């Protein structure tokens, strides 16, 4: 099967998936999206992702032209038509076509697109040897400008930080708040392990409340590992016993170097690896089934 994309109610080949150049998502980044993973024929945390997608759309004033149930069904059907069992899924809701001004009233109907493809942010070796990070000079946008909890299509702030990462020749970048507290990475949430506790910055500082981030907190409770939110500084990061980042694409990525400082022993730590193992076990067996009970793609 070839890759199939959902575009405003139609399933089309990837090469034919287009939206208008007058779409305000293209012109102004006026839209929201989600990143979702499918593992072994099951979509991981589908309901949570759809809920966050609709919350983001509601906050920026986009009336989604379908229900949450219809969105979930469209996502499942799009993956099913590709025949993939492991996939990355990107639903996007933009303001829709309008004129060349920014007035949302000129966009009568939002565009809904669901992209299904493969993704691998980091090579498998990175999970064995660890990732290298820098602290970017580009700061996280504050909540009184544009709340990072909204998963908006306007990612220019993160892209500017990513450019710094590329120029430094490392794997990821840590972004701080305007007050200098640890926020998140350019595309991931961040955790440390300190004195046996798993800690992550609190959501009110202005971070995306990641689905994988919450899954890690839930897994820690199940595994009996003390975990919670705490305001962190670079000093906390540099002196941590372990560090890892989380995200839909990255899953759990061990961090061994930040700004030239070795984190812990300089290798992925035991707590990180234990949580990563538990996460992969959960992802392999949990989630919304895509195909029939036989495991064969529909129509195969």
Catalytic residue annotation: 151
Q: In whole angstroms, what separates CA 154 from the centre of its chain?
A: 14
Residue 179 CA to residue 10 CA, distance in Å, equals 46
Residue 203 CA to residue 276 CA, distance in Å, equals 22
Residue 281 CA to residue 275 CA, distance in Å, equals 10
Residue 278 CA to residue 158 CA, distance in Å, equals 29
C-beta of residue 50 within 8 angstroms of C-beta of residue 151: no
| DSSP-based helix, strand, coil % in the chain, nearest 5 | 30, 25, 40
Residue 216 CA to residue 252 CA, distance in Å, equals 9
SS (H, E, C) 20-49: CCCEHHHHHCCEEECCEEEECCEECCHHHH
Running DSSP on this structure, what letter comes out for residue 152?
Answer: B
Taking the CA atoms of residue 218, residue 232, residue 129 and residue 88 in that order, the dihedral angle to the nearest 10 degrees is 50
Residue 286 CA to residue 130 CA, distance in Å, equals 27
C-beta of residue 290 within 8 angstroms of C-beta of residue 80: yes
Q: How many CB atoms lie within 10 A of CB 182?
A: 25
């Amino acid at each position: 099967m070839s890759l199939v994309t959902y575009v405003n109610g139609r399933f089309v080949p990837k090469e034919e998936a287009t939206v208008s150049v007058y779409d305000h998502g293209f012109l102004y980044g006026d839209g929201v999206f989600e990143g979702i993973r499918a593992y072994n024929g099951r979509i991981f945390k589908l309901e949570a992702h759809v809920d966050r997608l609709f919350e983001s759309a509601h906050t920026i004033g986009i009336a989604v032209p379908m229900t949450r149930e219809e969105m979930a069904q469209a996502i499942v059907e799009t993956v099913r038509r590709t025949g993939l069992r492991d996939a990355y899924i990107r639903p996007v809701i933009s303001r829709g076509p309008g004129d060349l001004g920014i007035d949302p009233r000129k966009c009568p109907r939002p565009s809904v697109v669901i992209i299904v493809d493969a993704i691998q942010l980091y090579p498998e070796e990175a999970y064995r040897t660890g990732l290298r990070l820098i602290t970017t000079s580009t700061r996280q946008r504050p909540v009184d400008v544009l709340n990072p909890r909204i998963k908006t299509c306007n990612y220019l702030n993160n892209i500017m930080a990513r450019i710094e990462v590329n120029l430094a020749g490392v794997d990821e970048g840590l972004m701080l708040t305007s007050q200098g507290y640890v926020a998140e990475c350019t595309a991931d949430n961040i955790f440390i392990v300190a004195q046996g506790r798993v800690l992550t910055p609190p959501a009110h500082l202005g971070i995306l409340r990641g689905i994988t981030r919450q899954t890690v907190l839930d897994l820690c409770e199940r595994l009996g590992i003390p975990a919670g939110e705490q305001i962190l500084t670079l000093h906390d990061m540099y002196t941590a016993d372990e560090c890892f980042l989380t995200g839909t694409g990255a899953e759990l990525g061990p961090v061994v170097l930040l700004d030239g400082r070795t984190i812990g022993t300089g290798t992925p730590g035991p707590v990180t690896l234990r949580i990563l193992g538990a996460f992969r076990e959960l992802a392999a067996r949990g989630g919304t089934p895509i195909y029939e009970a036989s495991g064969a793609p529909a129509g195969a």
